[in-house]
Amino acid sequence: MDDVSFTVRPGQVTGFLGPNGAGKSTTMRMIVGLDAPTAGRVTVGGHPYARSRSPLTEVGVLLDAKAVHTGRSARAHLRAMAATHGIPNTRVDDVIALTGLESVARKRAGKFSLGMGQRLGIAAALLGDPGTLILDEPVNGLDPEGVRWVRELVRHLAAEGRTVLLSSHLMSEMSQTADHVIVLGRGRVLADASLADLVHAWTRSEVLVRTPRAADLAAALGAADVTVGDAGGGALVVAGLPASRIGDIAADRGIPLHELTPRTGSLEEAYMALTEGSVEYKSKDIA
């Protein structure tokens, strides 16, 4: 890690992104005192996590869903955790129901699938009804229904004013979930911005235009700050002008338009551009 500094604020979902080996999990472990930084400090709610008098009610953490005694049932695991903080068994039943574990609550955790293990880990993180949630790859192994459930859950928790730090490699899912994004690369903070600002800064908006007079329209749009590309089949890709202006220019010259579709950049495109020089484990391109 190299001078990593950022603040995760309440009331929003903060996405934590970066290539494998970037330092995301290490950073999360340092937040809860499982790893110690060589310099600097990490605070949760203004104080180090180790000083929390009631950790489960302050911070809910999912770092490793496999960190469960395999011989215990889901209910026994959660009740053992609850007993350390005086949390009533009714709360255990609540989080079991919330995470969809009711039918397997008496089953040994060692027999759980990857997805069910993730649900148990999320149940443990929610057990103390904490104000801060730190979730490392919570949708790993979940089916589409489970992925959507996690998305809706964390957005609901953030809307209640809680602080949510969420890591994932699923860019399409993160784009629907996060309000703010922090990107790490080789142990350094590459970006710390709202999702909208990040996408705007690292991608280019384009407009797909389809017309039987593509050459005429391309000539009419020609300008120093406008890029026009041939997409084939009478289609052009235009960057540097909004769709409304392209439509006006075409109308002024009597050029018919069969399609005028704005295409904004995606989080995945922004992420790939931002981390291009920070990928440690890069696969070979397939010809």
CATH number 3.30.70 is the correct assignment for the domain at 204-263 = yes
At 85 the pLDDT is 95
Residue 252 has pLDDT above 90, yes or no: yes
Mean pLDDT of 256-273: 93
Average pLDDT over the chain, rounded to whole?
A: 92
The CATH class of the 12-200 domain is alpha beta
Residue 19 has pLDDT above 90, yes or no: yes
- Residues 94-118: tens digit of each pLDDT: 999 999 999 999 999 999 999 999 9
Confidence class of residue 81 from pLDDT cuts 50, 70 and 90? very high
Residue 155 has pLDDT above 90, yes or no: yes
At 277 the pLDDT is 81
**What CA–CA distance (Å, rounded) separates 282 from 267?**
20
Rg (CA), the chain: 24
Residue 182 has pLDDT above 70, yes or no: yes
Confidence class of residue 286 from pLDDT cuts 50, 70 and 90? low
Strand order in the sheet with 12-17: 59-62, 132-136, 163-167, 12-17, 180-185, 188-194
At 264 the pLDDT is 87
Percent of the chain with pLDDT over 90: 81
**What CA–CA distance (Å, rounded) separates 224 from 228?**
11
Quote the tokens at residue 265.
């950049």
Nearest to 207, CA basis, from 254, 271, 250, 270: 250
Maximum distance among all Cα pairs of the chain, rounded to whole angstroms: 76
At 63 the pLDDT is 95
CATH 3.30.70 in the chain: give the residue spans. 204-263
Contacts of 32 (CB under 8 A, 6+ apart): 44, 49, 59, 61, 63, 134
Mean pLDDT of 63-68: 88
Residue 22 has pLDDT above 70, yes or no: yes
At 281 the pLDDT is 59
- Residues 188-219: tens digit of each pLDDT: 999 999 999 999 899 988 999 999 999 999 99
Distance between start and end Cα atoms, the chain: 35
Q: What is the DSSP letter of 9?
A: P
CATH 3.40.50.300 in the chain: give the residue spans. 12-200
Q: What is the DSSP letter of 211?
A: -
**What CA–CA distance (Å, rounded) separates 35 from 51?**
15
Residue 283 has pLDDT above 70, yes or no: no
Confidence class of residue 280 from pLDDT cuts 50, 70 and 90? low
Q: DSSP per residue over 29-82, as a string?
A: HHHTTSS--SSS---BTTB-GGG-SSHHHHEEEES-TT-S-TTSBHHHHHHHHH
**Position 231, amino acid:** A
Residue 20, judged by CB atoms within 10 A of its CB (0-12, 13-18, 19+), counts as exposed
